[in-house]
Amino acid sequence: MSSLEIIATVLGGLTIGSALMVVLSPHPVRSVLYLILTFFLISGNYILMNAQFIAVVNIIVYAGAIMVLFLFVLMLLNLSKDNEPKSSIKMKIAATFAGGALLTVLIAALKDSVILPKTEMLENQQGMVENLGQLLFTKYVLPFEMSSILFIAAMVGAVLLAKREKQIIE
Amino acid sequence: MSVQQLVPLILLFPLIGGIINGIFGKKLPKALVGSLATLASTLSFAAALMVFFQLNEPVKIHLFRMIDLVDLRLSASLLADNLSLWMVLIITGIGSLIHLFSMGYMKHDAGYSKFFTYLNLFIFAMLILVLGSNYFMLFFGWEGVGICSYFLIGFHYSDAEKGMLNGIAARKAFIMNRIGDLGLLIGLFLILSQFGTLEYQELANIVTVDKILGTPWMMFGITMCLFIGATGKSAQIPLFTWLPDAMAGPTPVSALIHAATMVTAGIFLVVRSNFFFEHAPMTQEIMLYIGLATSLVAAFIAMRQNDIKKVLAYSTVSQLGLLFVALGMGAYTAAIFHVTTHAFFKALLFLGSGSVIHAMSDEQDIRKMGGLRKKIPLTHLTFLIGTLAITGFPLLSGFFSKDEIVGHAFSHNVVIYGILMFSILLTAIYMFRMYFVVFFGSFRGTHEQEHHVHEGPASMTLPLVILAILSVFGGLLNLPGIWLKGQAHWLSHHLEHNTGGLNLIEAEHADNGITLMLMIIAVAVCLGALVVCYLVYGKKQNVPVADAELSGWQKISANKLYIDEIYNFLFVRPTEWLSVVGHKFIEIMFLNGIILGFAKGIGASGELVKKWQTGRVNWYILWMVGGIVGLIVYYLVKI
Amino acid sequence: MILASIFESGVSIQFYIVLSTILFAIGVLGVLIRKNAIIVLMCVEIMLNAVNLLMVAFSTYFGNGDAQVFVFFIMVVAAAEATIGLSILVLLYRNNRSVDIGLFNKLKG
C-alpha cells in the first residue's frame, strides 16, 4: 500500500470516529467541537483529492462560520450536560436499527452498481481555483447569482424571526 | 281543416284550458275561469264533430316518438276511428255540459279555479286514453284519469268536519285503481313479449289476419290481466267499493267521472281489445259471471241506501256489471250503445241530484226530503225522465239499450237472462223508491231548508234539459230492426265499419218474434216496479226508517253487505301489521344497524390511525427512514 | 501544486462510497437519537457533508469539475438553512424555555 492509501484510510477512520462522537457525546458543547474536528478531517480528505478550493471553503464557511454560529446559540441558551434531554431507550434501539438498516441497504444497493472507468489523469487540476472559477462564472453563472438572492432571503428571514416582539410578550 | 289537424286540437284545448286556469286561475275573475274551461271543452266537442263528419276510414296521427330502441318502439300517436271518435263525442259533449253545470254549482266554493283546472286536465287525460293508437297511450291516459280523480274526489280535503273522510275516500279510490293498474301493466308486458308491439292496428292484423295467436294460456293471461285492469277502473267485484266512497267528492265530479267517463274506460279497454277477447273464451265467461254478480250485489245494496248519491253510485256499479255481461257475450256494439245512453241518463241523474242537494242546502239524506216536485219543477221533470230512462221505460233510450243486451243474453243462455232480468227489476225498484221518496209526500226537512228550496241558475238547469232530451231520444241511435226496416242499428253498423282495423265481431241479432216477446217482458217489469213503488212510497208515504231500526236483509243491504269491513279485516289490517313489523325489525335493527355500523367502523379505523400522529418529530423521521429502507429493499429484490 | 489523482495511486472509489455512506448513516442516527434541537441540526450538517465528500470524490474520479461547483452550492444552501434553523430555534426557546424536541408535539392527533 502506498503512503497515500494509508493516509486516506487513516483519515477516513478518524472522520468516522469523530462523527460518531458528535452523535454520542452527552455534552452539547463537546458535540460541537467534535463536529468542527470532523469538518477539518473532511477538508483533509478534500486536499488529498486536490480539491483545494473546496477544502478551504469548507473550513472557512462550515467550521468557521456555521459552527461558530452554533456555538453562539449554544452559549446563548446556556445549555449544559444537566439540562440535556435524553431519549428513551426504546428510541435508541429503534434508531440504531434504522440507521444500521439504512447503511446495509445502501451499501447493498451500491455494491453491484457498474462503475464507469476512471479518467486517466496525471494532472489533477480541476480542483484549482482558476479552473473552478472559470466553470462557476461561465457555465453556472445563473445559480451563482441566484445564490445571492438566497442569501438575502435568509438574512431577512433570520432578522425577522429573531426580533423580539414586544406586543406578544406583554 | 283536415282530420290530421283537428284531432290534436281536440287534445290541445282542454290542456291549454287546464294550464291557464292552473297558473292564472286565482287571479282571474270566477266567471272567466269557468267560461274558459267550458269553452275549452266545447271547442273540443266542436272539433270532434268536424272530424266525425269528415271521417271515412281510420286515420293514424303520429305525434312524436317516445322510446326508440331496437326491440321496443313506443310512439305517441293518435288513432281517429269511429270507436274512439264516438267516445270523444261522449266525453267532450257531456263534459261540456258538466262544466257548464259546475259554473253554477261551485260558485260559492273557494277552490273554484282549482276545480276547473282539474276538470280540464281530467278531460285531457281521458281523451288521451280513448284517442291513443297504442296501449301505451291508453295506459298514460289511464293513469292520468286516476290521478285527476284522486284530486277531484278529495277536493274538499281541508273541510272542517269531512275533510279527513274525503282524503280517505280519494286514497281508497286511487289505491284500488292501482291494484287494477298492476293487472293492466302486466297485461301490457305480456302483449309486448308475445307480439312485440303495442299498436292496436298492428295487433289486430297479427291476431285476425295473420292468425298468430300464441298459446291459449298466453291469450288467457293477457285477457285476464286486461280484465283485472278494467275491474279496477270500472268497479267490478272485487274492486268496486271505492266508487260509493267516491261520492264524497262534489256532485259534478261524480257526474263526470263516475257516471259518464272514467268508469267506462274499462269497457273501452275491452272493446278495443276485442280481437284478444274473442280468442279467450274462458275470460269471457269469467267476465260474464263477475259482471252478473256485481250487478246483483250492487242492486241489492242500493235497495236500502238513503243517501241520494250513494243510490246512484251503486246504480252505476250495477249498470257497469250489466255492461260486462254484454262484453262477456261478445256484444261489443251493444255495450257501447248502452255506455252512450247510460252516460246520458246517469249524468242527468247525478246533475239532477246535484240540483236537489243545492236546493236542499247541501242535504243528501232522502229521508229528510220529500214533496219536492212542486217546489223545484224543472229538476223534478228532468229527474223523472232520467229515472224512467234508467229503468227501461218504453221508448226512452234506456229501454232500447237494455233491451239489446238482454236480447243477447237470451240467445246466449236463458238462465243468465233470468238473473239479468231480476237485477233489472231490482234496479227499477230502488230507482223508483228513491224518486218517490224524494219528490212525493210531504216535506220532511227543517224549516230553513224549506225556505231555501229553489231552482238553480240557468247554468245548472240548461244542462239538465239538454241531457233529458238526449235521454229521451238517445234510443234512436241503435233501434232494433223491429221498428225501422232500413235504418236499424245505425250505431252498430257505424262502429263495425271503419273501426281502425278492428273487426267488431258481433253476435247475431235475434229474430223479430223473440225481440218482441223480450220487449214486452221488459216493459212489464218496469211498469210493475213503477206501480208497486208508487203504492208503497208515493201514496202510503212509507218513509225509509232510520238505520237503527232495520233488521234482516234490509240491515245487510243498508250496511253494504259488510264488504268494506271484510276487506278491512282481510287486507288492510295485515298490511298495516306488516308495515309495523317492517319498521321495527327491518328498518330499525337491520338497516340502521348496518348503515350506522358502517359509519362507526370508519370512525373506529380513523381512531386507530390517529395513534400514529404522536407529534414527535423523532418518530416521524424514524418512519421516514423505515420507508426509504423499505423502498430500496423492494427495488433491490425486484431487480 | 500539481498532484496526480489519488485514484492513480491505488485508492479505489468504493472506499469513498463506503465512507460517505457510513457518515450519512451516522448522521441519520444522530437525527433519530438526539433530542436536543441544536444537535439534530448539526447531524443534518453531517449528512450534507457526507454527500459533499462523495461528490468531490467522483469529481476527481472523472476529472469533471462540475461536481465541485455543485458542492459549492450545497454549501451555500447549507449555510442559509443553518441560519434560518437557528433563528427558529431561538424563537422556540423563547416560547418554551427548552430546546427539547420531544416537547414540540402540538401536531399530535
Name every residue whose Cβ is closer than 8 Å to that of residue B116 and which is 6 or more positions away in sequence.
B17, B21, B25, B33, B34, B36, B37, B99, B102
- B287, three cell numbers: 267476465
Antiparallel, parallel or unpaired: β B73-80 and B59-68:
antiparallel
Instruction: State which residue of chain C sits closest to A86, comparing Cα positions.
Output: C35
**Residue environment code for B241-276, b if the CB has 16+ CB neighbours within 10 A, otherwise e:** bbbbbbbbbbbbbbbbbbbbbbbbbbbbbbbbbbbb
Q: What pLDDT score does A149 carry? A: 95
| Beta carbons of A139 and C65 less than 8 angstroms apart | no
Measured between CA atoms, how close is C21 to chain B, in angstroms? 14
Quick one: cell of B228? 283485472
Contact check, Cβ <8 Å, B617/C106: no
Residue type, B60: K
- What's the half-sphere exposure (Cβ side, CA atoms, 13 Å) at B61? 19
- CATH number of the structural domain spanning residue A87: 1.20.120.1200
Looking at beta carbons, which residues of chain C come within 8 Å of A132?
65, 68-69, 72
Q: Phi first, then psi: what are they for C40, rounded to 5°?
A: -60, -45
Residue in chain B lying closest to A102 (CA): B629
- Please, which residues bridge with residue B132 across strands? B78
Q: Cell numbers at residue A62, please?
A: 462550515
Q: What number is the average pLDDT over the span B41-46?
A: 91
Closest residue in chain A to residue B633, using alpha carbons only: A105
pLDDT of residue B501: 46
- List, in sequence order, the alpha helices (H) in C4-98: 13-33, 37-62, 66-96
Residue A144, in any domain of the structure: no
pLDDT in tens, B402-431: 888 888 888 788 888 888 889 999 999 889
The string over B349-363, giving b where at least 16 C-beta atoms fall within 10 Å of a residue's C-beta and e elsewhere, is bbbbbbbbbbbbeeb
Residue type, B378: L
A102 neighbourhood in chain B, CB within 8 Å: 625, 628-629
What pLDDT digit, counting tens, does each position of B528-584 carry? 888 888 877 766 656 666 656 666 677 777 777 777 778 888 888 888 888 888 888
- CB–CB of B180/B233 below 8 Å? yes
Give the closest residue to B251 by CA, choosing from B369, B152, B160, B329: B152
Q: What is the pLDDT of residues B176-235, one digit of tens each?
A: 889 999 999 999 999 888 888 888 888 887 877 766 777 788 888 888 999 999 998 888
Percentage with pLDDT > 70 across chain B: 91
- Å from A20 to nearest chain C CA? 7
What is d(CA B568, CA B580) in angstroms, rounded to the nearest whole number?
16
Q: What is the CA radius of gyration of chain B?
A: 30
Cα R_g (chain C), whole angstroms: 18
Are B160 and B136 within 8 A, CB to CB?
Answer: no
- Mapped onto helix, strand or coil, the DSSP state of residue B75 is strand
Give a yes or no: residue A56 inside a domain: yes
* SS3 at position B61: strand
Question: Which grid coordinates belong to B547?
Answer: 238505520
Q: Please report, for residues A88, A106, B300, B632, C90, the alpha-carbon distance to residue C30 in angstroms, rounded to integers and kept in the order given.
A: 14, 17, 104, 21, 21
Q: Are C5 and C63 in contact (CB under 8 A)?
A: yes
Residue B51 reports pLDDT greater than 70: yes
Q: Which residues of chain A have pLDDT under 70?
A: 1, 121-124, 126, 165-170
| A147 at C interface, C-beta within 8 A | yes
pLDDT of residue B512: 67
**Does residue B487 carry a pLDDT above 60?**
no
Number of other CB atoms surrounding residue A46 within 10 Å: 26
> Per-residue b/e over B15-26, b at no fewer than 16 CB within 10 Å?
bebbebbbeebe
Q: How many angstroms separate the CA atoms of B477 and B494, rounded?
A: 10
User: How far apart are alpha carbons A105 and B631 in whole angstroms?
Assistant: 10
Q: What is the ipTM of this complex?
A: 0.90
Interface check for B610 against chain C (CB to CB < 8 A): the answer is yes
Domain layout of chain C by residue ranges: 13-100
Tally of CA atoms within 13 A in the half-sphere of B245 that contains its CB: 24
Give the per-residue pLDDT at B508.
54
Contact by Cβ (8 Å): B461, B381: no
How many Å lie between the alpha carbon of A102 and the closest alpha carbon of chain B?
A: 6
Residue B412: half-sphere exposure toward Cβ, Cα within 13 Å: 24
A35 lies in a domain?
Answer: yes
* Chain segment C13-62, per-residue pLDDT in tens: 889 999 999 999 999 999 999 888 899 999 999 999 999 999 999 888 88
Mean pLDDT of B43-66: 86
Distances (CA, A) of B525 to B345, B399, B429: 19, 11, 10
Instruction: Give residue B369's pLDDT.
Output: 80
CA–CA distance from C10 to each of A1, A14, B10, B280, C61 (Å)? Answer: 8, 20, 108, 109, 12
* Rounded distance between C-alpha atoms, residue C61 and residue C12, angstroms: 9
Chain B CB contacts of A99 below 8 Å: 625
Question: Per-residue pLDDT tens for B85-121?
Answer: 888 999 999 999 999 888 888 888 888 888 999 999 9
- What is the rounded distance in angstroms from the CA atom of residue B290 to the CA atom of residue B270? 14
Candidates A28, A95, A154; nearest CB to C80:
A154
H helices then E strands: how many in chain A?
8, 0
Taking the C-alpha atoms of residue B352 and residue B377, their distance in angstroms, rounded to an integer, is 11
CB contact set of B181 (below 8 Å; sequence gap of 6+): B142, B143, B146, B229, B232
**Helices of type H across B235-376:** 242-245, 251-255, 264-272, 274-277, 281-302, 308-328, 332-359
Q: Give the 3-state secondary structure of residue B74.
A: strand
If you ran DSSP here, which 8-state letter would residue B122 be given?
A: H
Which residue reads 219536492 in cell numbers?
A: B372
User: Which residue range is the domain that position A87 belongs to?
Assistant: 3-125
CB B106 within 8 A of CB B119: no
Residue B132: strand, helix, or coil? strand
Do C15 and A76 lie within an 8 Å CB cutoff? Answer: no
Number of domains in chain A: 1
CA B335 to chain centre: 16
User: Would you call the peptide bond into B8 cis, given omega within 30 degrees of 0 as the criterion?
Assistant: no
- Partners of A94 on chain B (C-beta within 8 Å) are 622
Nearest residue in chain C measured CA to CA from A145: C73
Distance of alpha carbon B16 from alpha carbon B38, whole angstroms? 12
Residue type for B171, please?
R
Cβ count near B397 (within 10 Å): 29
B141 vs B138: CA distance, rounded Å: 5
Q: Which of B622, B628, B633 sits opposite A95 (nearest CB)?
A: B622
Phi, psi for residue B507 in degrees, rounded to 5: -70, 155
- Is there a domain that residue A42 lies in? yes
Which of C23, C85, C94, C98 lies closest to C54, judged by CA? Answer: C23
Is A83 in contact with C49 (Cβ distance < 8 A)? Answer: no
B27-39 tens-digit pLDDT: 888 888 888 888 9
Which of C9, C32, C87 is nearest residue A98 as measured by Cβ atoms? C32
Q: Return the CATH fold of C13-100.
A: Helix Hairpins (1.10.287)
Q: How far is B634 from chain A (nearest CA, A)?
A: 10
Q: What is the pLDDT of residue B204?
A: 81
Angstroms from C101 CA to nearest CA on chain B: 7
